[in-house]
C-alpha cells in the first residue's frame, strides 16, 4: 500500500499529464554509503575504507564503518520502500565484500547478503537494479596500481562473471559503473575521492581502463544473463555552458565537454575517442599506446539503456591572461585539477539561483537540456535518470517530523523537466531519486543529507521526510501534480 501522510495528502487530484506507460519509479543508494558492516563476513577494506580512515580526508573523520547499517536492517528498509510504493531499487555491490582481494573465488557469505536483499525486494514487488561498481575498488587492487593499470580490467571482468552467476537469475537490470568520471578524475586527478591520488596522466589512463572494463563486463553480462536482461552504464554527464558568448568561453565549454563527457560517450557510444580530447591531453599520455587493438570495439558493445545522473549545471570560462582558473566546479576543493589538459578553465556558480546545502545552484532546465542533448547526439538511445536529488539542512521537529519543502520543490521541478523532455522526444524510461535515505556522503561524511528518509545515526531510526510522502504520491498517480500539494 502506498504511504500517504494525511496532513499532506491532496484533497482532490488536479488534472495532470501521466508519465509514459512502463516508466520506472525508484530510489538509489550505494554500498559503502549505506551498508556498514565494514569488516563482517569476510569483507576487506576498499579504497574508501582506507581513504576515510586517513586523517584530513573526510569531514569530521567520518567513515562508512556503520553508515546506515543497511547490511543488518535491509529487511526493514525494503519494507519501507514497499510502504512508499517504490517500483525499483538501485543498489551497488561492494566488490570487496564478495571478492575480498579483488581476485580469486567469491566469499559466499558476501554473496548471500545480496541474494537475500534481492529476494526481499522481489517478494515486495520491487525490481532490483544492480550496479557492479560505485567507486569502492578492493584495496589490494589499488595497492597493485588500481585503475591506471590495464590488468584491473581483467579483475573486473572476473568479478562480473561472479555476480552474473550469483544474481543473474533474479536481477533483470545491470549497470557496470556509476560515474566513472568521478572514479578517474576525482580519485586520481584532484584527489578529493579515494584513492586520493593527484596524477593527471594516471587519471586519463584510469578513464580508458574504466571504459575498457565496462565493455568487457557488458560482454560477460550478455554471455551470462538470461535473454531479456538489460545492461547499462551510468554517467554523470556535465551540462556544460559557456559563461559568455565569446569564442574563448566557447572553447572552455568544448574542453570540459571533452574531458567531462565525451571521454566516455565517445568510445562507449561511437567507438572512438574525440580528436579534440586527444589533442588537449597529448602532452600527458600517448593515446596510441594506451588504446590497444580491439579496445574500442570492446568498449562500444551496445547497452540497452544509458543512465544519467544530474544535480546542477557546469558554467565555465577561459580566464584573461594572468587570471587564475579553477573556481567552484562543485566536485570538491583541491589544489589539484580533475580536468587534465584543461586545468586553466575557470568554473562559476550560476547567479540568481536558489542553492542546496551543497551550495549547488538549482536548475531543472539543466536536466531538460541534458536529456535533449543526449537524445540529439545519440538518437534512439533509451535513457534513465539514475540519480537526481538535493541535500538540505534537514532536522527532526519536536513533533517527530522532517519537513523538507525545498526538496519537494527541487524534485517537482526536475520531474517536470523529465516530463518536458519526454514530450519533446527523449526516450526516458524511468527516474531514480537520490537518495532513498541519508547516508555517508563521501568526503562530506555525515554532514550532508540527500535522503528522502531521515536517518538518526545514533539510533539508526528511519523517519520518512515530507518529500518521501510527496514522492510516494507521485508514484501512485504516475503523474506530477500541476501544483505542489505537499
Report residue 154 as a C-alpha cell. Answer: 581483467
| Total Cβ atoms within 10 A of residue 405 | 13
Q: Which residues pair with 177 in a beta bridge?
A: 133
- State how far the Cα of 374 lies from the Cα of 268, in Å rounded to an integer: 13
- State how far the Cα of 57 lies from the Cα of 220, in Å rounded to an integer: 35
Question: Angle between the 151-167 and 200-224 helix axes, to the nearest 10 degrees?
Answer: 30
H or E stretch including 464? strand 461-464
State yes or no: cis peptide before 9, omega within 30 of 0: no
- State how far the Cα of 32 lies from the Cα of 55, in Å rounded to an integer: 18
H or E stretch including 111? helix 108-123
Could you give the C-alpha distances from 313 to 154, 211, 377, 434, in angstroms and in order?
35, 24, 18, 17
Task: Please indicate whether residue 179 is annotated as part of the active site.
Answer: yes
| Total Cβ atoms within 10 A of residue 35 | 31
- State how far the Cα of 421 lies from the Cα of 269, in Å rounded to an integer: 21
- State how far the Cα of 78 lies from the Cα of 122, in Å rounded to an integer: 10
Nearest residue to 329 (alpha-carbon basis) of 146, 181, 451: 181
- State how far the Cα of 247 lies from the Cα of 253, in Å rounded to an integer: 10
- State how far the Cα of 40 lies from the Cα of 109, in Å rounded to an integer: 9
Q: Helices in 378-458 by DSSP H: which ranges?
A: 405-423
- State how far the Cα of 86 lies from the Cα of 433, in Å rounded to an integer: 10
Task: Please indicate whether residue 387 is annotated as part of the active site.
Answer: yes
CB 413 within 8 A of CB 377: no
> Which one is catalytic: 179, 272, 323, 441?
179
> Which one is catalytic: 387, 403, 441, 482?
387
- State how far the Cα of 363 lies from the Cα of 335, in Å rounded to an integer: 27
**Active-site residue numbers?**
179, 387
Amino acid at each position: 500500500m502506498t504511504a500517504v501522510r494525511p496532513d499532506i495528502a491532496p484533497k482532490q487530484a488536479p488534472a495532470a499529464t501521466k508519465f509514459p506507460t512502463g516508466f520506472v519509479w525508484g530510489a538509489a543508494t550505494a554500498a559503502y554509503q549505506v551498508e556498514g558492516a565494514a569488516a563482517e563476513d569476510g569483507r576487506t577494506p576498499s579504497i574508501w575504507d582506507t581513504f576515510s580512515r586517513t586523517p584530513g580526508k573526510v569531514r569530521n573523520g567520518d567513515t562508512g564503518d556503520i553508515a546506515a547499517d543497511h547490511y543488518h536492517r535491509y529487511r526493514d528498509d525494503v519494507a519501507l520502500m514497499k510502504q512508499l510504493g517504490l517500483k525499483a531499487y538501485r543498489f551497488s555491490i561492494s566488490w570487496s565484500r564478495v571478492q575480498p582481494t579483488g581476485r580469486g573465488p567469491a566469499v559466499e557469505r558476501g554473496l548471500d547478503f545480496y541474494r537475500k536483499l534481492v529476494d526481499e525486494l522481489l517478494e515486495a514487488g520491487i525490481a532490483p537494479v544492480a550496479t557492479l561498481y560505485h567507486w569502492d575498488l578492493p584495496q589490494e587492487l589499488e595497492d597493485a596500481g588500481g585503475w591506471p593499470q590495464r590488468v584491473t580490467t581483467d579483475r573486473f571482468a572476473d568479478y562480473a562473471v561472479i555476480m552474473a552467476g550469483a544474481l543473474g537469475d533474479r536481477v533483470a537490470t545491470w549497470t557496470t559503473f556509476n560515474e566513472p568520471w568521478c572514479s578517474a578524475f576525482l580519485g586520481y586527478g584532484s584527489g578529493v575521492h579515494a584513492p586520493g591520488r593527484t596524477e593527471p596522466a594516471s587519471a586519463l589512463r584510469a578513464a580508458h581502463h574504466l571504459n575498457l572494463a565496462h565493455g568487457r563486463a557488458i560482454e560477460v553480462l550478455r554471455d551470462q544473463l538470461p535473454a531479456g536482461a538489460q545492461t547499462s552504464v551510468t554517467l554523470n554527464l556535465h551540462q556544460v555552458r559557456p559563461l559568455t558568448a565569446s569564442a574563448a568561453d566557447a572553447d572552455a565549454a568544448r574542453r570540459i565537454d571533452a574531458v567531462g563527457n565525451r571521454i566516455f560517450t565517445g568510445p562507449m557510444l561511437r567507438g572512438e575517442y574525440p580528436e579534440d580530447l586527444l589533442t588537449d591531453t597529448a602532452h600527458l599520455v600517448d593515446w596510441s599506446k594506451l588504446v590497444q587493438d580491439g579496445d574500442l570495439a570492446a568498449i562500444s558493445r551496445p547497452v540497452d539503456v544509458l543512465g544519467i545522473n544530474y544535480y546542477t549545471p557546469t558554467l565555465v570560462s577561459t580566464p584573461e591572461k594572468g587570471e587564475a582558473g579553477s573556481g567552484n566546479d562543485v566536485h570538491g576543493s583541491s589544489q589539484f585539477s580533475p580536468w587534465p589538459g584543461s586545468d586553466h578553465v575557470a568554473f562559476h556558480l550560476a547567479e540568481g539561483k536558489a542553492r542546496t546545502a551543497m551550495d549547488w545552484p538549482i536548475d531543472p532546465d539543466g536536466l531538460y537540456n541534458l536529456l535533449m542533448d543526449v537524445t540529439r547526439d545519440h538518437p534512439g538511445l533509451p535513457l534513465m535518470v539514475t540519480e537526481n536529488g538535493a541535500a538540505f539542512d534537514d532536522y527532526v521537529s519536536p513533533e517527530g517530523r522532517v519537513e523538507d519543502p525545498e526538496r519537494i520543490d527541487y524534485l517537482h521541478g526536475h520531474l517536470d523537466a523529465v516530463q518536458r523532455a519526454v514530450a519533446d522526444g527523449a526516450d526516458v524510461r524511468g527516474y531514480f531519486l537520490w537518495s532513498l535515505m541519508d547516508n555517508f556522503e563521501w568526503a562530506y561524511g555525515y554532514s550532508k543529507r540527500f535522503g528522502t528518509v531521515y536517518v538518526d545515526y545514533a539510533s539508526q531510526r528511519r523517519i520518512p521526510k515530507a518529500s518521501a510522502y510527496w514522492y510516494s504520491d507521485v508514484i501512485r498517480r504516475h503523474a506530477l501534480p500541476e501544483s505542489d500539494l505537499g
